Chain A
Amino acid sequence: MSENLILKVENLNVRLENEEIIKGLSFEVKEGDVLTILGPNGAGKTVLLKTLLGILPYQGEIKWQKKVKIGYVPQRLPFIKDTPMSVEEFFELKEASKKGIKETLNSVGFEESFLNKNIGELSSGQFQRILVAWALIKNPDVLLFDEPTTGIDIGGEETIYTLLTKLKEKRNLTILLVTHDLSVVFKFSNFVICLNKCPICQGIPKEVLSLETLHKLYGEEVKFYEHHKH
Chain B
Amino acid sequence: MEQFLLSLIAGIFIGGAAGYLGTLMLSKKMALVAGPLGHLTLPGIALALIYGFDISLGAFPFVILGIILIWLFEMKTKLPMEALTAVVFASGVAIAFLFLPIEQAETALVGDISKISFLDTLITCILCLFLFLLIKKIYFKITLINISEDLAKSEGIEVKKYNLLYLFSIAIIVALGVKVVGGLLTAALVAIPAATARNLSKNLLQFSLGGTFLGVLSSFLGILIFKTTGFPAGPLIIIVSTFFFLISLIFKKI
| A interface residues, Cβ below 8 angstroms from B | 50, 53-55, 70, 72, 74, 77, 79-80, 82-86, 89, 92-95, 118
Give the shortest distance, in Å, between B252 (CB) and chain A (any CB).
12
Partner of B198, one of A84, A92, A93: A84
Given contacts A70-B154, A72-B154, A84-B198, whether A79 and B147 have CB atoms under 8 Å apart is yes
**Cβ contact within 8 Å between B203 and A118:** yes
Partner of A84, one of B140, B150, B204: B204
How many B residues touch A, CB cutoff 8 Å? 22
Residues of A within 8 A of B206 (CB): 84
Given contacts A93-B144, A118-B202, whether A82 and B150 have CB atoms under 8 Å apart is no
**Cβ contact within 8 Å between A53 and B153:** yes
**Cβ contact within 8 Å between B151 and A83:** no
**In the assembly, what is the distance between CA of A80 and CA of B154, in Å?**
17
Residues of B within 8 A of A79 (CB): 146-148
**In the assembly, what is the distance between CA of A118 and CA of B204, in Å?**
10
Partner of A82, one of B29, B154, B155, B205: B29
B245: CB under 8 A from chain A? no
Smallest CB-CB separation from B206: which chain A residue? A84
**Cβ contact within 8 Å between A83 and B204:** yes
**Cβ contact within 8 Å between A85 and B203:** yes
What are 12 pairs between A and B in contact, CB < 8 Å?
Answer: A55-B154, A72-B150, A74-B151, A77-B148, A82-B27, A83-B204, A84-B201, A84-B203, A84-B204, A84-B207, A86-B204, A93-B144
Smallest CB-CB separation from B23: which chain A residue? A83
Q: Which 6 A-B pairs have the closest CB atoms?
A: A86-B203, A83-B27, A72-B154, A89-B204, A93-B144, A55-B153
**Cβ contact within 8 Å between A84 and B147:** no
B248: CB under 8 A from chain A? no
Residues of A within 8 A of B207 (CB): 83-84
Partner of B202, one of A54, A77, A86: A86
**Cβ contact within 8 Å between A74 and B202:** no
The SS class assigned to the B binding surface is: helix
**Cβ contact within 8 Å between B204 and A72:** no
Residues of A within 8 A of B26 (CB): 82
Question: Per-residue CB proximity of B119-147 to A under 8 Å, as 1/0?
Answer: 00000000000000000000010011011
Quick one: which of B141-186 are within 8 Å of A by CB?
143-144, 146-148, 150-151, 153-155
**Cβ contact within 8 Å between B147 and A50:** no
Given contacts A82-B29, A83-B27, whether A89 and B205 have CB atoms under 8 Å apart is yes
Question: Per-residue CB proximity of B202-224 to A under 8 Å, as 1/0?
Answer: 11111100000000000000000
Given contacts A82-B146, A84-B198, 13 further A-B contacts (CB under 8 A): A54-B153, A55-B150, A72-B154, A74-B148, A77-B151, A80-B148, A82-B29, A83-B143, A83-B204, A83-B207, A89-B205, A92-B140, A94-B144
**In the assembly, what is the distance between CA of A89 and CA of B204, in Å?**
7
Smallest CB-CB separation from A144: which chain B residue? B154
Give the shortest distance, in Å, between A193 (CB) and chain B (any CB).
20
Residues of B within 8 A of A72 (CB): 150-151, 154
Residues of B within 8 A of A118 (CB): 202-203
Partner of A93, one of B140, B150, B205: B140
Quick one: which of B22-44 are within 8 Å of A by CB?
26-27, 29
Residues of A within 8 A of B153 (CB): 53-55
**In the assembly, what is the distance between CA of A74 and CA of B149, in Å?**
11
**Cβ contact within 8 Å between B144 and A50:** no
**In the assembly, what is the distance between CA of A92 and CA of B143, in Å?**
11
Given contacts A89-B203, A89-B204, A118-B202, whether A83 and B147 have CB atoms under 8 Å apart is yes
**In the assembly, what is the distance between CA of A151 and CA of B15, in Å?**
50
Give the shortest distance, in Å, between A219 (CB) and chain B (any CB).
29
Residues of B within 8 A of A83 (CB): 27, 143, 146-147, 204, 207
**In the assembly, what is the distance between CA of A85 and CA of B140, in Å?**
11
Give the shortest distance, in Å, between B137 (CB) and chain A (any CB).
13
Smallest CB-CB separation from A86: which chain B residue? B203
**In the assembly, what is the distance between CA of A206 and CA of B9, in Å?**
73
